[in-house]
Amino acid sequence: MGASKGAGAARNGSGKNAGGGRSKTSRPASSRPASPKEQKKYQKIAQQARPRPPVLINCIKAFLTGGVICLVGQGVLNYFIRIGVKPPDSGGPLAGVMVTLGALLTGIGVYDVIGKFGGMGSALPITGFANSIVSPAMEFKREGYVLGVGARMFQVAGPVIVYGLVTSVVVVLIKMAVMALTGKS
């Protein structure tokens, strides 16, 4: 009976099967890590082979999507003004309606379709902010209301809220300092 060259072949100390073939566990010389020069060359080739995104079409879709969202917002604003809310006072109710609308559309799965079509055009308006709060909350609902919904709700929107709050405090402090130095109140 001769030694077989299969997986059950006896191995000698050189990493080769007794029959002379390489074992499946030893690395051939060509599998060494790539040098930085080779990695850069590969990155360049990969970049050239990557399909180009349709930038103009994406910009047009984003513009149209954001425009439609703003058109809906303008319609809501006009409604508030028509029922007697003064224009300076209508910003709060308008934001509330748009956030609620964004959360509702996210909840029923429509905002994801809008986002896939419009890209940044759907993320930039305040409805996109609502989507960024509701989406993680829905995703982690199965983990419970405290550790799932409560903990994950501000996963994306939390930094936006924090930086917005910090920036507003800094701007107010600068304004107060300027007013104190100029003597205006």
The predicted structure's pLDDT at residue 26: 53
Residues of the chain with pLDDT under 50: 1-17
> What is the residue whose two structure tokens read 């010389």?
29
Q: Of 74, 52, 57, 164, whose CA–CA distance to 119 is shortest?
A: 57
The predicted structure's pLDDT at residue 171: 95
C-alpha to C-alpha distance for 33 and 39, rounded to whole angstroms: 9
pTM here?
A: 0.59
C-alpha to C-alpha distance for 173 and 177, rounded to whole angstroms: 6
- Residue 140 CA from chain centroid, whole number: 16
C-alpha to C-alpha distance for 173 and 185, rounded to whole angstroms: 14
C-alpha to C-alpha distance for 22 and 10, rounded to whole angstroms: 12
Count of H-run helices and E-run strands, the chain: 8, 0
| Structure token digits, residue 146 | 């405290």
Q: How many CA atoms lie within 13 A of 148 on its CB side?
A: 10
- Which pLDDT tens digit goes with each residue over 153-185? 777 777 878 888 899 999 999 999 999 999 876
Query: In terms of residues, how long is the chain?
Result: 185
